[in-house]
Amino acid sequence: MRRLVLAAVAISVLVSVLAPGAAAATPDEPLKKGDFAGSFGIGHGRSMYLECYGEGSPTVILDAGLRNGASFWSQRSDETPPGPTVLPGVARFSRVCGYDRPGTILTSNPPIEFSRSSPVRMPRTAADAAADLHTLLRVARVPGPYVFVSHSLGGLIDRLYAATHPRLVAGMVLVDALAEYLQDSLDPAQMAAYSALNNGPVEGLDYPDLERIRIVRSFAQMRRAKRKHPLRDIPLSVISKGLPFGLPEGLPGGLTPAVLERAWRHAQNKLAKLTPDAVHVIARRSSHHVMLTQPKLIIDQARRVVRAVRRGGR
């Protein structure tokens, strides 16, 4: 079981809240007029948590990885450098919002806090999550257009959102994002092992509603959606990790560290070709959790995309 947990943390599409030294989110700046944090009913007896800060258009939507809530964009770890974390950093130049998907975790330190959004039956797909997000933004009257800053699983969800609602998405920053191109390089046994590791239980965590995602089915959803509606030529930054996951040897299905690293690099390179003028940045001091180790890099790329949207160009 311990190897399973370590592998899940290492691969992590995933359980970023279990990153070493991660601490509970604390605000870098006090609330200002127009800032809010609360829950909104989205129908069927469910509510979802949303928090928004800052001023200006386009609205930046922060979407975290599997099992991570909005607070992850404000967390610090032992490796976080001085300066603002991502959420307050972006709030200095535009309106920015973060939200909790069902089944996410807010902090890795006791007492562990769970998602502020209503639980749902797991596992789910990226399409389920994208539909929830659209409803939440509509009900909460969060004005578009949107620039998505999306980590890991959040990248797959938000690209699916962009294919479904193309006119609402004006730009994207994909932060070591999960992509269907990963499946190009993994055989079925390796893909099954990858999915199982990412969706496995977390030792010592009693949370029956913990987020789980049908990765292969979500990849198929993304392929169908992009055939109908390829990503428009919008400002796009792709940030890819520069350091390996640290995956242990001896995992099932032949999923070795070298196999996964090659597959991940392939997928990141494909993401960087989604638009003609996409910018591809390597976070050379970071593994998967770039927002903990190089938050300024994400803030700078978000600023670049926001400025491009405001200019009306690429």
| CATH number, residue 150 | 3.40.50.1820
The position carrying tokens 């999550």 is 129
Would you say how long the chain is, in residues?
314
Cis peptide before 244 (omega within 30 of 0): no
* Residue 124: CB atoms within 10 Å: 20
Is the torsion defined by CA of 55, 127, 161, 189 positive or negative? Answer: positive
pLDDT digits over 231-255, tens only? 999 999 999 999 999 888 888 999 9
The position carrying tokens 């300024």 is 296
H or E stretch at 185 = helix 182-185
Q: How many Å apart are CA 24 and CA 113, to the nearest integer?
A: 9
For helices 215-228 and 188-198, angle between their N-to-C axes, nearest 10 degrees:
110
Please give the residue range of the domain that contains residue 143: 2-311
- DSSP-derived 3-state class of residue 280: strand
| Nearest to 161, CA basis, from 176, 140, 145 | 145
- Say what the pTM is: 0.91
Q: How many Å apart are CA 139 and CA 60, to the nearest integer?
A: 17
The position carrying tokens 């987020």 is 211
The HSE-up count of residue 121 (CA atoms within 13 Å, CB side) is: 0
pLDDT digits over 262-272, tens only? 999 999 999 99
On the 0-12 / 13-18 / 19+ scale of CB atoms within 10 A, 83 is exposed
Over its length of 314 residues, how does the chain's per-residue pLDDT go in tens digits? 233 333 333 344 443 334 434 443 444 555 576 899 999 999 999 999 999 999 999 999 999 999 999 999 999 999 999 999 999 999 999 999 999 999 999 876 677 899 999 999 999 999 999 999 999 999 999 999 999 999 999 999 999 999 999 999 999 999 999 999 999 999 999 999 999 999 999 888 889 999 999 999 999 999 999 999 999 999 999 999 999 998 888 889 999 999 999 999 999 999 999 999 999 999 999 999 999 999 999 999 999 999 999 998 65
The count of domains in the chain is 1
